[in-house]
A and B are shown apart, each in its own frame.
Chain A
């Protein structure tokens, strides 16, 4: 194999591949990226056996072929090369080395045979549809903070992407929860997605997918089967296994009878929460919210370190209420609000509270209170 690629193009392709590679690896080949050159393209393929990413880049292919080298080493080298350099990659079958040349720099890297590289089995997808990058971005960005890290309830370690009855008909819905907070985000159902089976997209896949969506407005081809999900742009294909488990029935978790309504400027609220939480050094900082007519007092009382209080002007017309929350959870849901006021719907101090943006029902958050 002998190819030439522009440094910027190469860096982008290799960066995506190497981020899939696990840092701690016991199987040497999994630390490598498979480079295959043919026609006028080169592809970079990396996998951790659960996720596979294939990145295609235009190249001058002088001699077709394939080899594998350490993904992190190649990435580091390309990253350090000067911008605009033309990089030559030459695989020497006799020595088993890959030569990386750019300007006066010359590297020789150990390779492993391409035959050893595990390629994810192709599968049939029950549903194929196109979704725009901003739609997917919103679905996953607004839900991923609630993904659980708990190992025992492994089925919560991802975003549950499925078809549901939304506010205005069928919707493409993403739900994530860790038992303390929950995010439920809806988007209009893309054409051709009606038959999509519900899948739990693992946390790492959500992270990798996010990198695909960075480029503004493009269409993403989404394919879903019971066991796998695939997101593809023109150049990059991300294939991932989904979590083999049943996502719990989240609908009964979302309160419908909460009547006490608080409306507050989300960023003012978040800043105030952040300020009062400063005095508590504990990992689970509890913030007390005292609600009175059009008045909200946020307070933290940490016997060992101090106390803080801050008052906010809000819209609230119901009975007096005192309720506590984990400060981090409050901050996270408040930061999801970007256009309108945050609207909280309370029941009692022991019941789950609902939060949404204005009257928008397409993004709903639930958070469990804490005893204070």
Chain B
């Protein structure tokens, strides 16, 4: 069976240890040298960067995140052993791990390191689709002759280089499509290299829970469970048409995924799909005026980013987290895409008014999705809101003033609440 030593990159035919260097870090798989879609995920990226730069942290549990009310952005493997997880509220993390060293995220540094990794990946293939600073899909199809080595070898070489040159480790998932590559990279961490071949795909997925699918969260899981779908085997029993009837566009995707099929391409310029901003308050609040102020500021931030990217969105989302961490999200489609803070705010505000929950809340967020180019946005007025035109002209004028005199030059009273 084709085998590869992850330490010295020797390929060989059989055996548990590398015949050249004797290392046990070997991977054997019948399709090892045939597969070419990969997912690379850095191991505890932010925490690893901090540990690298401060050797004093090496054996300590390190948590990257904001103040007491923030959430864990990344936890190092020492902290993970104690039960700390990403996205866990900081106070809970500290309860589990009171001696943790908390480091405020230094995004500039991570962006720089990410760029270095990106450069290394670009030597492998031009088809790279970054999902975030620390993970990316790579399509190495057709690169074997160029590199004189199959994708698996090149990927092992990549992680080895990352370790030698940057002092960071990553895990690789190698398979025949994006969905399975991402699943694979998660099978073994840190410093993992996992392969899911075409022949074993169905067997591999059979008993796995559907929560394995990226994008199937708690809500989708509940919806699926109501239809008796917990595992991929359950999913296989459904006709495509029935899945579509019940779950809409997700149904078709589920049908394919159940069979281990994912036809999405690794695309270098995966377009921005949504813009959102959220804020966790210093203390929980139910005060409508304060919440309204937050809502406006979030809407304005979203609008600023949309304007900077010259895009507009058709769907506005409101996100609220109650004091007990229950999450409420509401979304609505607009008739026409917008990039105006005024329109985003008013839409989110009407969603807020319809929530019918008094709070108190600890977090508020606002988002814009179903994005299009800005030239198709805000073209028509509203018969029932004749002032909308004036408000949008005022916003455009405000933007010009800010561009010239700074972002504090002019603000709405609402923003000061």
B347 lies within 8 A of chain A by Cβ: yes
With contacts A284-B376, A284-B379, A371-B380 taken as known, whether A179 is within 8 angstroms of B385 at the C-beta atoms is yes
B264 lies within 8 A of chain A by Cβ: no
B380 touches A326 (CB 8 A): yes
Q: What chain A residues lie within 8 Å of B219 (beta carbons)? A: none
Nearest CB of A to B367, in Å: 16
B332 touches A368 (CB 8 A): no
B376 touches A178 (CB 8 A): no
B383 touches A253 (CB 8 A): yes
A202 lies within 8 A of chain B by Cβ: no
**Binary contact readout A128-153 vs B (1 if CB under 8 angstroms, 0 otherwise):** 00000000000000000000001111
Which of A151, A180, A372 contacts B382, CB < 8 Å? A180
A368 touches B376 (CB 8 A): no
With contacts A152-B347, A282-B376 taken as known, whether A368 is within 8 angstroms of B335 at the C-beta atoms is no
Q: What chain B residues lie within 8 Å of A372 (beta carbons)? A: 379
A276 lies within 8 A of chain B by Cβ: no
A178 touches B347 (CB 8 A): no
Q: Is the interface of A mostly helix, strand, loop or mixed?
A: loop
B383 touches A177 (CB 8 A): yes
Number of CB contacts from chain A to chain B under 8 A: 51
Chain A residues bordering chain B, tally (CB within 8 A) = 26
**Binary contact readout B362-397 vs A (1 if CB under 8 angstroms, 0 otherwise):** 000000000000001011111111000100000000
Nearest CB of B to A183, in Å: 12
B351 lies within 8 A of chain A by Cβ: yes
B379 touches A179 (CB 8 A): no
**B→A interface (CB under 8 Å):** 332, 335-336, 347, 350-351, 354, 376, 378-385, 389
Q: What chain A residues lie within 8 Å of B380 (beta carbons)? A: 180, 284, 326, 368-371
Q: What chain A residues lie within 8 Å of B336 (beta carbons)? A: 284
Docked pose: A282 CA to B385 CA in angstroms = 25
B335 touches A179 (CB 8 A): yes
Q: What chain A residues lie within 8 Å of B332 (beta carbons)? A: 150-152
A193 lies within 8 A of chain B by Cβ: no
Nearest CB of A to B336, in Å: 6
With contacts A150-B335, A151-B332, A152-B350 taken as known, whether A370 is within 8 angstroms of B379 at the C-beta atoms is yes
Docked pose: A1 CA to B335 CA in angstroms = 51
Docked pose: A352 CA to B385 CA in angstroms = 12
A209 lies within 8 A of chain B by Cβ: no
Known: A180-B335, A282-B376. 19 other contacts (CB 8 A): A151-B332, A152-B350, A177-B383, A179-B335, A179-B383, A179-B384, A180-B382, A181-B383, A250-B384, A284-B376, A286-B379, A350-B389, A368-B380, A368-B382, A368-B383, A369-B380, A370-B379, A371-B379, A371-B380
Docked pose: A371 CA to B374 CA in angstroms = 13
Nearest CB of A to B320, in Å: 16
Docked pose: A181 CA to B351 CA in angstroms = 23
A366 lies within 8 A of chain B by Cβ: yes
Nearest CB of A to B334, in Å: 8
Nearest CB of B to A143, in Å: 15
A296 lies within 8 A of chain B by Cβ: no
Interface residues of A in 155-189 (CB under 8 A from B): 177-182
A190 lies within 8 A of chain B by Cβ: no
Nearest CB of B to A27, in Å: 14
Write 9 A-B pairs (CB below 8 A) sorted by A numbering.
Answer: A152-B332, A152-B350, A152-B351, A152-B354, A179-B382, A182-B383, A368-B381, A368-B382, A369-B380
A39 lies within 8 A of chain B by Cβ: no
A113 lies within 8 A of chain B by Cβ: no
Nearest CB of B to A372, in Å: 8
Docked pose: A153 CA to B334 CA in angstroms = 11
Docked pose: A179 CA to B350 CA in angstroms = 16
Q: Which 8 A-B pairs have the closest CB atoms?
A: A370-B380, A152-B350, A370-B379, A179-B382, A371-B379, A253-B383, A179-B384, A179-B383
